[in-house]
Structure 1
Amino acid sequence: MIHDSSASPLIFGGAAQSPRAALPVLPPLALYIHIPWCVRKCPYCDFNSHTASPVLPEEEYVDTLLADLDQDLHAVYDRELSSIFFGGGTPSLFSAEALGRLLKGVEQRIPFASDIEITLEANPGTFEQEKFRAYRALGINRLSIGIQSFQEEKLKALGRIHNGDEAVRAAGMARQAGFDNFNLDLMHGLPDQSLDDALNDLRQAIALKPTHLSWYQLTLEPNTVFWNQPPTLPEDDTLWDIQEAGQALLAEHGYAQYEVSAYAQPGRAARHNLNYWSFGDFIGIGAGAHGKLSHPDGRIVRTWKTRLPKDYLNPAKSFQAGEKALTNEELPFEFLMNALRLTEGVEARLYPERTGLPLESLAEGRREAEQSGLLQVEPSRLAATLRGQLFLNDLLQNFLT
């Protein structure tokens, strides 16, 4: 398969930059694989997902993914993959045979770490016991199951294809298929949701004993059905009550909050997402996938791939829709936008290691954020205070140039 790399313009960072230090050690490397098809597009979803046809072009898409990966291999620099994440869309629509061929092709190109984490997103409406046993046999060792709610009226309002019973069964089937590490994705702040509704959802999720919970508030995003036809959402006071009571309930059951909307049992934080938030590197392949790649000379480049599946699969078009080299002025905000999502932040030494810039380049913004009570006064760490976690956008404003 030949894709013309000149068919789409590249977008680079602005004027020539002052020299940036070479990176002493390249960050860990992960791989994100986007499968863009869903059974049905949900009204709140702003991800790059498209309604699936009765027959998916599995073989053609796998071939294209591997060809796409080939064009990014120059940025591997002898690193191994620490994690792989299949996102979507609904990756569990693909057969185990297709995903197996893909994983084999990836490993032939980039070695896997001995303890690699491989996560597959799945929806309860696509669960089949034998299919998921086959996924586990491939080496996929973590699932992220899109529950959103267990309540029928809430699921209907969200346009989900599963019901509450199927959501409960999905967790049991995951465990029976050999997955001892799985996440449940759950929303709160749903249309007409009360505090009791939200906590009942959370209690049901906890009862299923996932190792990880992603628990986050529904937001109305542009270019979605909900944006154009907004549902009635809970009042701010109710949202605040849900947040406080839900966090207390999660802590009571041993789920530690380690990121804005991520809670995990001890040792079960998502390694792939931790890599994002600590400004690690990731190759992104698939329609609309994004990547972030560091180079030994100090260049740090964000990439994005052709969005529409029909264009991505078209040999006459480029896989890559664009790229942007991050400037010295952009890097402080880019780094902290990720790192400060972590409740404990990151070690301060990570900033020069991952950006090539001296820690002193943060000095002015850091001082202002500390004085306003948004950033912890701790020389060896970069971490938001509890107030800073609540007002993260205000905190980050201190690092915009």
Structure 2
Amino acid sequence: MSTTAEQPAPASAQRSGIPLSVYVHLPWCVRKCPYCDFNSHRAPAELPETAYIDALLADWALAAADEKRPIDTVFFGGGTPSLFSAGAIGRILAALDARLGLSSDCEITLEANPGTTERTRFADLRAVGVNRLSLGIQSLDNDCLSALGRIHGATEALAAIDDARAGGFTAINCDLMFGLPGQTHARAMADIDGIIEREPGHISYYQLTLEPNTPFYRQPPALPDDDAVVEIFEHAGERLRSAGYTQYEVSAWAQPGKACRHNENYWRFGDYLGIGAGAHGKRTRVDGHIERSARQRWPTGYMSVAGRPASIAESRLLDKDDACFEFLLNGLRRRAGVTRNDYEQRTGLDWQALGTTLAEPIAQGLVAFDRQTLRATERGWRFLDTILAEVLP
């Protein structure tokens, strides 16, 4: 852990102006996908729902102990959160609200797998307060879905979108992947056209990557080459823009007013408390220092110590270099870039000094920098790694 003298220290009075989100990790899936490197585990025959929710609530008391800010957004991720009952989700939301309060317009997102949902479940989730769904569609091509190890097919994927609407949801995100095993340009365009036709407010469109410690990494499938992937991404972007979607982040497209506030809080270096097995958190402490933390990863081990300091597997304070790098790592993914107010408030660092640090990428035309904003240029957006290398700790 870095020494206190090295920490950026925004005035504690400014802490109240930094939004607070909550991430809740529900770690079980019906089956682990071969490309997935998330902290997810195959569900046992009988899901320990009550025991796990009890552990989450104990964890919440620990995580929120010195917090007073209301909660602006909540995100249930996994794993497959839709394996849990609406009653269990309602218990968690009631506990969050009782301790800190959910803001009047709190965005509450839950990830759902089309293979584990149906119309009645959606209506029940809406009734307990969930107001945004993120559906893991991934593809509308049955061959590609099979290659990805998904438990649903195209019919179930499209039905999930319709059922979500019938269940009362107006805020829906569809996750869609490209660069898939066996995917041709025509198949990729059919995927994007099929999703656009259903008109979800938000589409997360991201490339399949082969992550270490996954079956796909150990035995890579045959994927489209780099040129084909670039062509798919560019042509999909053209279709999304023509349909009224705006790319507000590298992998995020939204209709007007439908951007994901929870993810925006991550990208703008806001604060979030993470509860659940392996959950990560980032918060500005009362003394102004920035702390990152992570819970124990294994569900059984986590449940045995939840609510006690032993449940925290990692905790560290960010020094000035870390804070600068992490702020830009997230913020430069946004089309709008970052603002001086966010940078100075959320890192405690000097804006003008940032201009000096990035002098080379500015001179190369990779970033545009003025008194109030910093953003990657159209060219620079393709070379974010080059820009970030200038501030790599």
Report the TM range for the smaller structure's normalisation: over 0.9
Residues of 2 paired with 1:382 and 1:118: CA distance?
30
Give the letter for the 1:158 counterpart.
L
Deviation at 1:83, TM superposition (A): 0.4
Q: Is the 8 A contact 2:7 2:317 kept in 1?
A: no
Partner of 1:25, secondary structure, is: helix
Partner of 1:153, secondary structure, is: helix
Q: Is the 8 A contact 1:221 1:227 kept in 2?
A: yes
Can you give the 5+ residue segments of structure 1 that lack an aligned partner in the other structure? 1-11
Q: Is the 8 A contact 2:8 2:348 kept in 1?
A: no
Deviation at 1:339, TM superposition (A): 0.7
More displaced 10-residue stretch of structure 1: 259-268 or 323-332: 323-332
More displaced 10-residue stretch of structure 1: 342-351 or 47-56: 342-351
For the structure 1 residues 171 and 347, does the alpha-carbon distance in structure 2 shift closer, same or farther, using more than 3 Å as the test? same
Give the letter for the 1:67 counterpart.
A
Superimposed CA distance per residue, residues 309-368 of structure 1 (whole angstroms, 9 cap, x where no aligned partner): 010011397221111100012111111111111011122221111111111331322222
- Taking the TM superposition and a 5 Å limit, the aligned residue runs for 1:211-222 are 211-222=201-212
Partner of 2:272, secondary structure, is: strand
Partner of 1:293, secondary structure, is: strand
Is 2:259 the partner of 1:269?
yes
Give the letter for the 2:355 counterpart.
A
Partner of 2:283, secondary structure, is: strand
Partner of 1:107, secondary structure, is: helix
Is 2:11 the partner of 1:22?
yes
Is 2:338 the partner of 1:349?
no
Choose the corresponding residue for 2:64, options 62, 70, 73: 73
Name 2:392's counterpart in structure 1: 400
Partner of 1:314, secondary structure, is: helix
Residues of 1 paired with 2:107 and 2:8: CA distance?
36
- Taking the TM superposition and a 5 Å limit, the aligned residue runs for 1:238-249 are 238-249=228-239
CA RMSD of aligned residues (A): 1.4
Residues of 1 paired with 2:305 and 2:376: CA distance?
46
Q: Is the 8 A contact 1:305 1:320 kept in 2?
A: yes
Name 2:140's counterpart in structure 1: 150
Aligned residues: 389
Is 2:318 the partner of 1:326?
yes
Name 2:92's counterpart in structure 1: 102
Partner of 1:393, secondary structure, is: helix
TM-score by length of 1: 0.94
Partner of 1:220, secondary structure, is: coil
Name 1:182's counterpart in structure 2: 172
Residues of 2 paired with 1:266 and 1:18: CA distance?
38
Give the letter for the 2:243 counterpart.
H
Is 2:38 the partner of 1:38?
no
Superimposed CA distance per residue, residues 34-78 of structure 1 (whole angstroms, 9 cap, x where no aligned partner): 0000000000000000000121111111111111111112342x2
Give the letter for the 1:384 counterpart.
A
Residues of 2 paired with 1:133 and 1:394: CA distance?
46
Q: Is the 8 A contact 2:8 2:349 kept in 1?
A: no
Higher share of residues assigned helix: 2
Deviation at 1:16, TM superposition (A): 4.1
Can you give the 5+ residue segments of structure 2 that lack an aligned partner in the other structure? none
Partner of 1:329, secondary structure, is: helix
Partner of 1:274, secondary structure, is: helix
Is 2:358 the partner of 1:362?
no
TM-score by length of 2: 0.96
Residues of 2 paired with 1:19 and 1:237: CA distance?
42
More displaced 10-residue stretch of structure 1: 252-261 or 22-31: 22-31
Deviation at 1:156, TM superposition (A): 0.5
- Taking the TM superposition and a 5 Å limit, the aligned residue runs for 1:260-339 are 260-315=250-305, 318-339=310-331
